[in-house]
A and B are shown apart, each in its own frame.
Chain A
């Protein structure tokens, strides 16, 4: 018989690390990441799915973490902005090309929208054929679903092109 609960223990692989938490079933994934797991890099700007600040990757695809309950990702793998860079095995970190590009192109001001953009763009760039030159339509599609109040987007789009070029060169 299916159990009907108000609270659940879940195991989620977050940024490659299995994490356990006991959460009320109504806990939004955004809140679970931020407040139960302490991963405050994921931001919350609207809690109704429009701004994209809360975007994380669930099993590799961008989704709004404010529109998913934590219990729903039990057993899944989640990537947040904290998981974009990887270890250089010398105590440091190698940033994802899109992180580098954001800094290089001044694609952030207050930085609040940034994590949502970064994970969305990282997934978008990884899903495409990186040997091909990126088109403006692709850039528009990748950044089109996230709000930024500070930058006017010009430099965010520039950063996407920059990161795509870096990834192309890296092969």
Chain B
């Protein structure tokens, strides 16, 4: 299990990185934390001609939390995001989901943006980007563009970004007012990719009844999706809301696949259970944030 030969560059600026990507052409690939790419190389499941290591590119390692949301630079490691209190205040889903990404040693190296660029439907952050209605900033020789999550995820391990390009950051909009979130997942071993995971956002109306409920699931479907579960609980109070009905609705909306660790039916079961559980928690948080 050793990588096939490749050429390597570690440019010192974004422009240089793009230059190298252009010069090396089709076979060039960006290397960020390497925690997904290097295992693929070692198993020779991928053999890019050139790796363009962006780890020495300055200015990509910041987490910027503002009232609008959290911008996570391409070199921000999972751990850094997990420990960023300001980011957690603006968008609590970030830390909650990141805590479920792998084990600490992987989180020390792997990047949030890398996991989004990797577009693994089993990854937590792809779903979080979707659920928060986020986007990424893509730098290419033609300039920068913003790509919303719906346009970004094309298929499993496949994004719409082609040609020489670097994702320079991901933007996760702030949690809206009167809203709460929760995240939960079930994995065979702690730290593994989830068998099924759920992130939810509950928004209350001024009268503290449920106004809107959205959910996104991990390891369910080929690309992250956001499901609107509002109709199951709309107008209900937090205390009396029928979260089980929302869970039941969610089960009808998803289209999971089966694999070694879970049948499609089992995933569907978990979608219901996790929805019910997370909604109850998220609603409590929404209530607290509405009171405050």
Contact = CB atoms under 8 A, between A and B. Distances in A.
Direct contact of A and B (CB under 8 A): yes
Interface of A: 1-6, 8, 24-26, 28, 31, 47-49, 52, 55, 61-64, 66-69, 71-72, 120, 141, 144-145
Nearest to B11: A2
Contact of A63 (B4, B17, B105): B105
Contact of B42 (A4, A6, A47): A47
A2 B16 contact: yes
Interface residues of B, number: 39
Interface of B: 1-12, 16-17, 19-20, 23-24, 34-35, 38-39, 41-43, 50-51, 53, 55, 79, 102-106, 108-109, 190-191
B43 A48 contact: yes
Contact of A28 (B42, B53, B79): B42
B8 A71 contact: yes
A117 to B, nearest CB: 11
Contacts of B5: 6, 24, 26
A28 B9 contact: no
Contacts of B16: 1-2
Given A28-B2, A144-B190, A64 B106 contact: yes
A8 B8 contact: yes
Contacts of B11: 2
A3 B38 contact: no
Contact of A26 (B2, B23, B39, B43): B2
A5 B7 contact: yes
B3 A26 contact: yes
A113 to B, nearest CB: 13
Contacts of B7: 4-6, 25
B9 A2 contact: yes
